[in-house]
Structures are given as C-alpha cells and as structure tokens.
Structure 1
Amino acid sequence: MKKIYTLSAMLAAFALQAQFTVTIQTPADFKDKDAILYTLNGSKDIIVTKEQSKNNTWTFKYPNHYMGMMKVYFPGSNNTVSFISENKNVNFKLDIQKDKVKDVVYLDEANELMSKQQDGSQKKELILPALGQIKEYYKDNTEFGKALKLEIERLSGSSSSIDAAQHPFISYYNTNYSKFLSNSPDGAKKVDQEEVINFLDKSNDMLESSSLLRPVLVAYLNSGGNTNVGASVDKLLDRLKVETPRGQTVLSELIDIFDVYQMDEFKTKYLGLAKNLKCTINDRLASTLKSNANVEMGAAFPNYKFQSATNTTAKSIYDVKADKKVIVFWSSTCSHCETELPKLLEKYNDLKTKDIQVIALSLDVDKNSYTKKIAAFPWINDSELRGWNSNYVETYNVHATPTYFILDANNKIISKPEHVGNVLEYFKLK
C-alpha cells in the first residue's frame, strides 16, 4: 500500500510540475470578457480552453507539458495575441486603444527574449539590405554616413546566443529558422532536400508546435522544382512513413498546401493515399480528411446556423428552401471578391426567377466594412466577424476567397465553381 501511495504522489508531483499558467492583463476599459487559448499542431490552431476575465485579467491553466507557439483570441473584439510557451508560466499585459491591441508587454523571461529576437531578425532581413544600398550614396565622414555605418554594424552583428538548456524552444526555433528559412544576407546557404528530410524525420515534437512545418515544406517543394513535386513528396513520405504520427501530420500539411495553391492533381493523389490508410489516424490528418469529405462532390453540405443573417427569416442554410443554392465565402477586403460579386449581382434577379438562392458567408472582421458592403447585396448575408477564425473555415475547407459551392434542393453539392463566371455558366446565364 505504501508503494502505491508513493507512486501516486510521484505522478501528482509530475502533473504539478508540468502545469503552467498563462496570465493576461488588460486595461479596465477593454470590453471583452471571453478569451480562447490555442496551441499549435503544424499549421492548425487547436483550442485548449475558454476563460472569462476577472478584473480584466485572464488566467489559463495548462495541465500538460508544452513547448511551442500559443495564441489567445478575443472573439468580441477579434484581437489575437501570439506568444510562446517553454512549459513555464507566461505573463503579459496588453495596451488597448479603441478595443484593439496596440502593444504587448511581455513580463516573463522567455517571451520577452523571443520578442527581442524576432524584432532583431525582422530588421536584419528587411532593413539591413536597404541600408546597404543607401550607404553607397553617403560618405562615411558625414553625420548621416556615420550613423548609417553604426546601424549597419549593429544589425550585422551576430544575434546573442541562446542557452538551449535555459530556453529550449527559442533555441530550436531560431536555429532551424535560420537554417531553412532565413532571407538575411548572412543566412545559411540553400539547403538540399536531404537536409530537409533529415530535419523533418529526426526533429523532436517541437516541430509540430513551432510554426515552422508548413513553410519548411513549401521550401522543400520549391527546391525540387515544379517538375519533381511528386517525386519529392514520395521521397519524403517514404522516409517518414505515413503510418507514423509525424508522417500523417506532414501528409495532412501537404494536402492543405496543394489545396491552397490549387495543385489539384497532387491534392487528389495524396488525399487518396490518406483515405486508404489502414492504420490508426492521428487528429491532424483526421481533421483534414473530415473537412475535405464535407465538401466532396455529391456530399451533403454540412448545415450552418446563421448568426445574424440579413434578407431572410431562415435560421440556417437548410431552412432556406430553393431549387438550387449558391454558397459563396467572401470578404469585403478581398480584391477578387470586389471584382466577382458585382457580376453575380447583375444576374441575381435572373437567378431568383430560376428559384436559385444565394447565401454569402463573410470572413470579415470589421463590422462597419461588412455592413456597408452588404447594403448592396440583396441575397442572404451572414458573418461571424471573426475572419479566418470563423467556424466555417475548417468545416467547409475554405482556403481562399471567393470560394463557391452549388447545392441542389436537398443540400447536396452538385458543383464547385472556381470563379463567378463558372457559376453563371452553370445556370446558363453567362
């Protein structure tokens, strides 16, 4: 009995050791009450928990070991703040102006250090090359020339080394960003594919939580050239093994990349590979499979409950009765939408006479911009005003705006037009 008690005590002690808190402070005039904490898996934000403020302070308790990127999202004001965890308490204050985050003051050592490192890296990549060009036009013995020379020397200096034992995530992130993704003048030479494969194969769990996975994969695909994409992917997946969690996460990221860049041939091939796996599927790949299954041709378009829809009394997509429905995901800040939606508007009365209803779901964040824009749209409009944090982004596998779907009377997907011209052509209105 004593041994069991001792073991229980050890497990409890480990749990307490692994737990850390995230504390966020805001001014008294910040109106938001709710905040949502996320971790990261590849390029997917994973909801951890939702908390309410107490005296304009949010305290999140994270019960597990975690090193990597995190973010907190305030849905009421659509503010997002990113930070890191090194499995230690995180603490920061927000400077708020008119309900928008203007500045973040990090109070814990890791985030303060990471913020300084990021600021220095950005200046080195973006400003240093320009300063080098400007320097050619000023003599070193002038006041401006002297100041310019000093700033170039300062930015050219090597970043302060990070103690990996004290700051393992910062060290991991900086080392691998510099090696695989840096654009600074003194950045590493372009690595070959074998180096990238070894990194993806041998890296620890911080790869998935670091935000590096997707950009490294894009760099890997680019390094092989447009004619060798399939061979590059096959080589990578053969090394990683798609039966493993790492292999499945990479496969999921690749499918999404092919979706974003409209590389349909490769998306179809590797989505098929994922569907045919006989092993246990991890959460990351399962979410990709589900969102793609939701919008396959012939699938029942998942229902969506409207938040504050205009031009309708219907409560959801399924409540809208029509022979056909055109679903369009758009945004008032999207230049392509600015071009395409007026063309849909020109033919809207013709669509109505054919018993075709248009339902536009917006990825806007600014209520004023959204409200002004939809004043001209007579169809059904709705928005969560949460941008790419909107719930329907993952549900309907939306990667770009505008995105169109055509549904039949039973809400089955019968077409997925690429452009508004394809929508009008489908209904013989072009």
Structure 2
Amino acid sequence: MKKLLFVSSVLLSAYAFPQFTVSADIPTYLADSEVYLYGFNGSKEILYSKAKITNNKAVFKVDKKYIGMMRAFFQKSNSSINMASENSNINFKVELDSKNKISNVVFTDATNQLFSNDVELQKKQELILPALIQIKDYYKPSETFYKSLETEINALSKNDSSLYASHPFLDYYNKNQKFSVQEKAAEIKPQDYIDFYSKSGEYLETSLILKPSLINYLNASKSNVEGGVDKLLDAVNLETPRGQTILSELIDIFNSYNMDKLKEKYLAQANNLKCTINDRLSSTLKANNNTEIGAKMPNNTLANAIHTKAKSLYDIKASKKIVVFWSSTCSHCEAELPKLLEKYDKLKAQNIEIVGFSLDSSLDEFKNKANIYPWVSASEGKGWYSSYGETYNIVATPTYFVLDSDNKILSKPNHVGDVLDYLKVN
C-alpha cells in the first residue's frame, strides 16, 4: 500500500507542475494588460495560458508538452511577440517606444537567443549582403577595404549548422523555412512541396511554415490549381491528421481569397469524410457550416454593448438584421459604414436592425467610433483574438450577414451596396 501511495504522489506531482514557464519582464504601462500565450496548429492559434502579472513580470505556466512557435499577445498595446519553444523555460524583456508600442525584445534563454540571432542574420543576408557584394566590385583585391568587405561577406554568408545540434525545432525551422518564403518560391518545384508535406517531421503543424508554404504551392501550381490540390491531398492522405490539417488550411485559404468554387469543392470533400476528423478540420467545418446560407447564425453575447439593453444577438427582435463585423482601424469600414448610416432611418422604418461586432483590441477606440453609429454595437476588445473569427468564420472586415427574424442567414453580401440592394433600400 505504501508503494502505491508513493507512485500516486509522484503522478500527482507530475500533474501539479507545469512543463515549462514563459517569463517576461514588462514595462509599467503593460502591468495592467491582459496577456495571453498561444501555440499553433497550422495557422490556428491555440490558447495555452493567460499571464499572471506581479511586480512588472508576466509569467505563463504551460502544463503540457509543446515544441514549436508560440506568440504572446499584449492586449493593451495590441502587440504580439513570436518565440520558439522547445518545451523548456523561455525568458525575455519587453521594451516600448514613445507611443507604447513594443520596440524591442531581449531574450535570455538559449533557444530564443539563437532564434533571434538567426532572424537578424537573415535580415542582413537579404538586405545588406547583396549590397556588400556589389560594392566589393569597385575595389581591387589588394586594397584594405576590399579585404574588410570580403571578411564581412564571408561572415554573413555562413550558416553554422552545428549550432542546432541541441535544438531540434530550430534545426527543422532553419532547414525548411525556404518553403514559406515568397521570394524563394520560384526556385521550388511543386513536387518538392508535396514531398515536404508528406515526409516532413512532427514540427510542421507548430512551425508557422504550413500556411505560407501552401500559398506558395498554389502559386507554383497556378496553371492548374485544382489539379495541384488533388495531387497534394492524394499524397498526404485525408485519413491522417496531417492530411486533414492541410485540407483545413486550404479551405481557409480559398475562403480568404474568395476562391469560392474551390472552397465549396473541398468543403464538400471534407464533410463527406467517413473517418475520424481531427480538431483542426472539425473547427473549420463548424465555422463554415455555422455561416452557410439557410443556417441559423450562432448566438453571441453582446460584450461591452452600446445602444441596447439586450444581452445577446438573439435578444434583438426585428423582421431582419444586418450583422456586420468591423473595426475602428479598418479603412474599408470607414468607407462603407457611413453609407449604412445614411439609410438607417429607412432600414428602421422597415423593422430592420443593424448589429455590429467590433474586432477592436482597444475598447476605448471601439466606443469612440461606435458612438457615431446609432445601431447596436458590441466588442470583446480582443482584436483578431476575439471569438468572432472562430464562430463566424471572419477573415476580413467588414463582413456582412443578413438574417431573418429567426436569425437564419438569408444572404452574405460582399459590400454595403450589396446589402442595400438585397434589402431593396434606395
């Protein structure tokens, strides 16, 4: 019995302590900010932890193994910081500029010091190295300045792979980042992309390489995009988690770029799968099915609501509703929403209400702008980290829906003019 108790206590201890922590020294300005730590599944951000802030230090505790890219989001400054995790402690210091935006981040853990140095080296290789090579041609090899240039060029041209011996994720990232770089896309053949996806190791989904590399693959297959996608999906096998994550990313890309025929084809293919569906594809299917014409739009709590006492979208009663997702910093919203304002009295006369969900990260900026418009407005104050994107498949602002009195989706107009034409409001 004592042995069993000992084993149980060991197991409980394992669950009681985090896998690793992420600690950040932050300026006083951010001491009252909400700060969130996200990991990745493809391009989808997964919330791992909310920071506990004490004495200008934000500490995240991550309670499960994670290797890959992570992102810390500071709500107050609407700023984020990318970092690499190899399932060990991460430490950094945040510095702000005069406008309280993040101007510099200094990492003190070995993984992110190496990662930061790599990023800096790549910038120099892209921006400085070509210029140095050109300048060198103006000098003779016997000249001192020529020799200095040659030394600098050699230093910038080196990639010391031995540095990654104890950093498996950084090694993976360093070797495969080329697939996600647009400038290098022309050098890579479509079959090389397919081999990369089908043979790549376990870090692809957490590396932030997947989505940009898929966009590059689609561009490389532009003479026959549909054929290229079919070939890719055959190679990665849609009954595997890898294949389903890639299918999910492709559907999201087609949605973002208004490639509706391709989106509908592969969405149907996903819906018809008979195997177990992974979380990544399941969330994409749910978001799309939530917003199909004829579907009942999911309800949503009206957080920080203006111009209403209603608690949720369903509480607002009208013969029809225009639901618009917008932001105070969106230039297209600035151009389109005043056109709704011009017709608001006519819309109200027909018992049509407007409900705006803002993707602002600043509630003050949201309220300042929302007060200009007389209709119902709400915002979670989390920017693109709001729940709206996941629930309603929002990839751009403004995005419009027209609902009937039972909150069923009648139309998904692309622009404000389409909204008014659909409702026959002149």
Q: Give the TM-score taking structure 1 as reference length.
A: 0.88
Deviations 1:151-170 (A, max 9, x none): 98268523333544311111
Unaligned runs of 5+ in 1: none
- Amino acid across the alignment from 1:45: E
SS across alignment from 2:304: coil
The 2-side partners of 1:188 and 1:110 are apart by 28
The 1-side partners of 2:25 and 2:300 are apart by 34
Q: 1:99, CA displacement in angstroms?
A: 5.2
2:198 corresponds to which residue? Answer: 201
Q: Is the 8 A contact 2:76 2:361 kept in 1?
A: no
RMSD: 3.2
Q: Is the 8 A contact 2:17 2:63 kept in 1?
A: no
Deviations 1:225-268 (A, max 9, x none): 1x411111111111111011101000100100000010000110
Q: Structure 1 residue 95 and structure 2 residue 95: aligned? A: yes
Higher mean displacement: 123-132 or 267-276: 123-132
The 2-side partners of 1:164 and 1:253 are apart by 29
2:423 corresponds to which residue? Answer: 427
Q: Is the 8 A contact 1:34 1:52 kept in 2?
A: no
Q: Is the 8 A contact 1:18 1:87 kept in 2?
A: no
Q: Work out the number of aligned pairs and report it.
A: 422
Q: Is the 8 A contact 1:68 1:206 kept in 2?
A: yes
Higher mean displacement: 249-258 or 100-109: 100-109
Q: Structure 1 residue 104 and structure 2 residue 101: aligned? A: no
1:388 corresponds to which residue? Answer: 384
Deviations 1:281-302 (A, max 9, x none): 1110111011111111111111
Q: Is the 8 A contact 2:321 2:354 kept in 1?
A: yes
Q: Give the TM-score taking structure 2 as reference length.
A: 0.88
Cα 1:230/1:2, change in 2 over 3 Å = farther
Deviations 1:312-352 (A, max 9, x none): 22222111111111011112322222222222222111111
> What pairs with 1:332-411 in structure 2 (closer than 5 Å)?
332-367=328-363, 369-411=365-407
Q: 1:128, CA displacement in angstroms?
A: 4.7
- Amino acid across the alignment from 1:55: N
- Amino acid across the alignment from 2:192: E
Cα 1:49/1:30, change in 2 over 3 Å = closer
- Amino acid across the alignment from 2:417: G
1:210 corresponds to which residue? Answer: 207
Determine which of 259, 264, 268 is the counterpart of 2:264: 268
SS across alignment from 1:271: helix
1:36 corresponds to which residue? Answer: 36
Q: 1:59, CA displacement in angstroms?
A: 2.9
The 1-side partners of 2:278 and 2:182 are apart by 34
Cα 1:128/1:386, change in 2 over 3 Å = farther
> What pairs with 1:322-333 in structure 2 (closer than 5 Å)?
322-333=318-329
- Amino acid across the alignment from 2:32: D
Higher mean displacement: 105-114 or 61-70: 61-70
The 1-side partners of 2:403 and 2:78 are apart by 31
2:122 corresponds to which residue? Answer: 121
1:181 corresponds to which residue? Answer: 180
Cα 1:17/1:353, change in 2 over 3 Å = closer
1:417 corresponds to which residue? Answer: 413
Unaligned runs of 5+ in 2: none
